[in-house]
Each structure stands twice: as C-alpha cells, then as structure tokens.
Amino acid sequence: MTAALISSIASLRRQLTHVRQANHTIGLVPTMGALHAGHVRLLEQARVDCETVVASIFVNPLQFDRPDDLQRYPRTLEADRELCDRIGVDFVFAPSVDEIYPGAPECTVNVGRLADHLCGRFRPGHFASVATVVMKFFDIVQPQRAYFGEKDAQQLAIIRRMVADLNVPLQVIGIATVREPDGLALSSRNLRLSPEERALATALVRALRQADSAVAAGERDPAAIQRAAVATIPADPALRLEYLELVDPVDMQPVERIDKPVLVAGALWVGSTRLIDNLLSTPKATPQ
C-alpha cells in the first residue's frame, strides 16, 4: 500500500470528507519526521485501531528555542514515507511552514501551570507552541483517536488536558516508550550522538532507574531519591544534567511525599544534544 503524500490543508480535508462519509474511524499520529521504531509503534497501533490512519510530518518552528536546533533537526521525508508505506498508513500529511502558519499566530493555546516544571521550566513557550500546532492538526484532520509517545510525558499530559478543557471530541492514546537494548529511549535526536556520546547517553536512564528502585523499595522522600539518582551520573565534561524531578503524572507538579505513583523525569545534555526520558514509579504498598 502506498500512502498518499499530501501537502495542502484543503486537499487533506477533501480526502477525509470521503473517509468520514464512509463512517471510517480516523487515527492521527502527529510527528516531526525522522521516524524510528518508537514512531512505528504509534503507527502500528493506529493501524490496528482505526480504518484510516493519517501521519503528519511537520517540523514545527515555533517550538524550537534555538535556531541551530531547528536547523539541525533531521528531515528524512522520503525514508519516512517509505516506512509509512510498509505499515499501511493511508495519508502522510507533510505541509510547509507557510501552509500551517500563513502569518505569525496571534491566538495560541495557553497551557498554564502544567508547563511550570520539567522541560517547561527551561524552555519558556515551548509547550504553548506544541499545544497550538497539535490543536491545529486536530482541527485539520478531526480524528477520533490521536497517538503520542509516553517518552514525552509532559507533552502528553498537556495534550490530554487541552483535549479535556477544550472539549475536543477525540481519544488521546499514550504508547509506551520504545528503548534500545541498553535502555536508551529512542529519539530522533539520538542520530546526532557520536559513538563516545552514545556510550554516555545511558546515564539518564540509569539515574531514572535508580530513582524508580528507591520508590519501589519504600523511600518516601523525593529529595533523597533525587540526590541518590543524580549521584549516579558520571562527572564527565560531555554530560550536563538539566533536571531530574519527581512530579505528579497528571498535573506535572512536584510532590512533597511519595504515597502514590509518581513520574520520575529528567533531561540530560550529552555534548550538544538534549535528551529527555521518564519512568512512572509506583511506591511499595504499605502493610495494612
């Protein structure tokens, strides 16, 4: 099956009108391209769940806080389309920047306090830009289901809240993080890592697993867990920890004591590449 490559909003809407007239369920997988096995998992689940699958490929300039990061972001449309063909995606929507933003947007989505911590603390405006472009794609495609990776946990929480608060009639489905055999979470940014940096990159998941083990063992003090986890990261000049926090998995706020599942999340610079990862940690049950 060959996925139809569409670049205009009007054309995609025309195509999807026929799909809706046939009462087909539409699944949307929003991506920025450079597709890897993590994206494959999203697309495959959408293919199982839905009669029509739309994969969007759009590198959203508004969510990049550094021009060099936007410039370096991998763009592999032909390879991405071939992958979508193999999975059986129906439509690949790959619009230009001008198609999505014919002018600088004045009206955007306000994501509120869900962006106060984790990545939002270090990237002001990032999640408002993500939520805005995702909302635009929701309006363009009007899917019944939309699929996102749990690796971007803060993004997923914000999108779920946006859908609830704005009464968007769709189901947001989170798909578990796909990892390399050594635990490194798959990311398009991993392509930037040198062999030496790739060997160091697992420091983040090891720190998160240290925190997860402490939570599971019954430690209740987030600060103590954080200190022990941070201490596992090697003192290497190529590594710079941006944050490692324990937050509520729904509202992304720090917790003072662990008495229910928490999200342990971190961001680590490896050379000039910023990696993020997280684990959902469940505390040991207290005997009755």
Residues annotated as catalytic (active site), given as ranges? 39
Is residue 140 within 8 Å of 14, Cβ to Cβ?
A: no
Q: Is 183 exposed, middle or buried (0-12, 13-18, 19+ CB in 10 A)?
A: middle
Q: Which is it for the CA torsion 48, 188, 56, 94, positive or negative?
A: negative
Strand order in the sheet with 273-281: 239-247, 262-270, 273-281
Q: How far apart are alpha carbons 2 and 9 in whole angstroms?
A: 20
Is residue 279 within 8 Å of 204, Cβ to Cβ?
A: no
Is residue 201 within 8 Å of 87, Cβ to Cβ?
A: no
Q: How far apart are alpha carbons 146 and 130 in whole angstroms?
A: 15
Strand order in the sheet with 52-57: 4-6, 91-93, 52-57, 26-31, 145-149, 171-175
CA proximity to 265, closest of 70, 74, 121: 121
Antiparallel, parallel or unpaired: β 26-31 and 52-57: parallel
- The amino acid at 11: S
Is residue 39 within 8 Å of 92, Cβ to Cβ?
A: no
